[in-house]
Amino acid sequence: MLFLPKFVIRMTHLYNLFIYIYYLLIRTSALLVNNKAKLWLKGRENIFDRIAASLQPSEKRIWIHASSLGEFEQGRPVIEKLKALRPDYKIVLTFFSPSGYEIRKDYKGADYIFYLPLDTRRNAQKFIDLVKPEMGVFVKYEFWYHFLTVTKQKNIPLYLISANFRKEQTFFRWYGGWFRKLLFNFEHIFVQNERSLNLLKEIGINSITIAGDTRFDRVFSIASAAKELPLVQEFVGDSFCLIAGSTWVPDETLLIKYLNETTHSIKMIIAPHEIEESAIQNIIQGINKKTVKYSQLKEFPGNSAEVLIIDNIGMLSSLYRYGKLAYIGGGFGKGIHNILEAATYGLPVIFGPNYGKFQEAVNLYQAGGAFPIKDYQEFKILLDELIIDKDKNQTCSQISRQFVNDNLGATDIILQRMLR
């Protein structure tokens, strides 16, 4: 009976050591001119003074934490509906990563936006004492030990939304007892699917609801308010257009090879993940067809170009409306980017082999609206087929659109439970 408390104490010490080492690595990276590490550190300078100076007394607050930009987009429908239902509450939004904070630090849907301080017990206590949230919401993941335990100890209800668990995660391993304890800090967990629900039940967590994925609500609202892009419309004209979103070098290698070899009359819009001029020039130099950057499209004659390279950030979700087919990047690396922004417009979706951790991709593939490929040969055969066989393309299009429509409503399920 004495083993478990000692084990928990030891694991907590190891965790604290890990946090300290992580901090030292960030500082070292910043000295080596790592811009992301510099932003991470700078954003946390005098963080508590800035929080104290920003908050107004006698406010009622709700704290929402998102790791980065993707998790923020997942939580955004909840933030915005929460704001509409509880206008008397102030929303305090925190980010862990600069790639979330720096892009969304001026987001109007939250009243206060900060970096999350480093996860030490002292920082967690100070943060909670300053913010005094009446509830906390974590989006999808990030299980910071001290922030979770301190919030729980202060009897502030915590919710985890759009969670997606897999059997291979540490929580469900024989050695995962310390990590499992973190999940018991949540008042309620809203999961995306039945698999996650069953995994949590197996470890004794029963305050769970299958709500689905709030990203469906988000992409649907984006599509409903999509900007018109007259220059893109003119570029596409009546052509069959493939939209390639968030591409990396392995994705671009496939796309360029197809462009250079195909005899089909198509247009292609490539929105690379990296938009540095050198990266864009590498794409342009590999293509043997007329290619133009979006920043130069106004000066380009009519719609004579065959390939358009997007050299800015923020347009991608509106671009998909002009396509007949989407290729989503990342599948030859750590994992694919957002497929739902394309699917909501009714686009069949192609992506690389590393998609298994993305439930929406698995489900859309099983439904017949998405197509994983392993190599260029598979990509060429599939793309040729979807260009030639208009009936198949149309059928896949209807499947994609219906897939999104069938999965709407997670935001309402979450808020009905949280606010009751």
Domain count, the chain: 2
Whether 84 is in a domain gets the answer yes
Tell me: pLDDT of 1 over 60.
no
Check whether residue 255 and residue 324 sit in a common domain. Answer: yes
The pLDDT confidence band at residue 8, using thresholds 50, 70 and 90, is low
Check whether residue 287 and residue 358 sit in a common domain. Answer: yes
Check whether residue 170 and residue 319 sit in a common domain. Answer: no
Whether 1 is in a domain gets the answer no
DSSP secondary-structure letter at 158? E
Q: What is the pLDDT of residue 359?
A: 86
Residue 369 has a CB neighbour count (10 Å cut-off) of 25
User: In this predicted model, what pLDDT tens digit does every residue of 383-394 receive, in sequence order?
Assistant: 999 999 999 999
The pLDDT confidence band at residue 251, using thresholds 50, 70 and 90, is very high
What residue type is assigned to position 37 of the chain? A
Check whether residue 256 and residue 388 sit in a common domain. Answer: yes
* Radius of gyration of the CA atoms of the chain, in A: 23
Whether 209 is in a domain gets the answer yes
The CATH number covering residue 86 comes to: 3.40.50.11720
Rounded to two decimals, the pTM is: 0.85
Check whether residue 149 and residue 241 sit in a common domain. Answer: no
Check whether residue 354 and residue 269 sit in a common domain. Answer: yes
Measured distance CA(245)–CA(106) in Å, rounded: 25
Tell me: pLDDT of 226 over 60.
yes
Whether 2 is in a domain gets the answer no
Q: What is the pLDDT of residue 99?
A: 87
Name the average pLDDT for the chain. Answer: 93
The pLDDT confidence band at residue 6, using thresholds 50, 70 and 90, is low
Backbone angles phi and psi of 43, in degrees to 5: -65, -20
The pLDDT confidence band at residue 109, using thresholds 50, 70 and 90, is very high
Check whether residue 280 and residue 257 sit in a common domain. Answer: yes
DSSP secondary-structure letter at 229? -
Whether 47 is in a domain gets the answer yes
User: In this predicted model, what pLDDT tens digit does every residue of 134-155 receive, in sequence order?
Assistant: 999 999 988 999 999 999 999 9
The residue whose two tokens read 């990342």 is: 330
Check whether residue 204 and residue 352 sit in a common domain. Answer: no
User: In this predicted model, what pLDDT tens digit does every residue of 353-365 receive, in sequence order?
Assistant: 999 988 899 999 9
The pLDDT confidence band at residue 420, using thresholds 50, 70 and 90, is confident
Measured distance CA(215)–CA(163) in Å, rounded: 12
Check whether residue 142 and residue 256 sit in a common domain. Answer: no
Whether 6 is in a domain gets the answer no
Q: Taking the CA of residue 186 as centre, how many other CA atoms within 13 Å lie in the half-sphere pointing to its CB? A: 27
Q: What is the pLDDT of residue 33?
A: 75
Check whether residue 140 and residue 278 sit in a common domain. Answer: no
Measured distance CA(15)–CA(94) in Å, rounded: 22
Whether 322 is in a domain gets the answer yes
Q: What is the pLDDT of residue 375?
A: 97
Q: What is the pLDDT of residue 2?
A: 41
Encoded tokens for 399 = 């499947």
Q: What is the pLDDT of residue 225?
A: 82
Expressed as residue numbers, the domain containing 396 is 227-406
The CATH number covering residue 235 comes to: 3.40.50.2000
DSSP letter for each residue of 73-138: HHHHHHHHHHHHH-TTEEEEEEESSHHHHHHHTT-TT-SEEEEPPP--HHHHHHHHHHH--SEEEE
Check whether residue 59 and residue 40 sit in a common domain. Answer: yes
Check whether residue 261 and residue 399 sit in a common domain. Answer: yes
Whether 244 is in a domain gets the answer yes
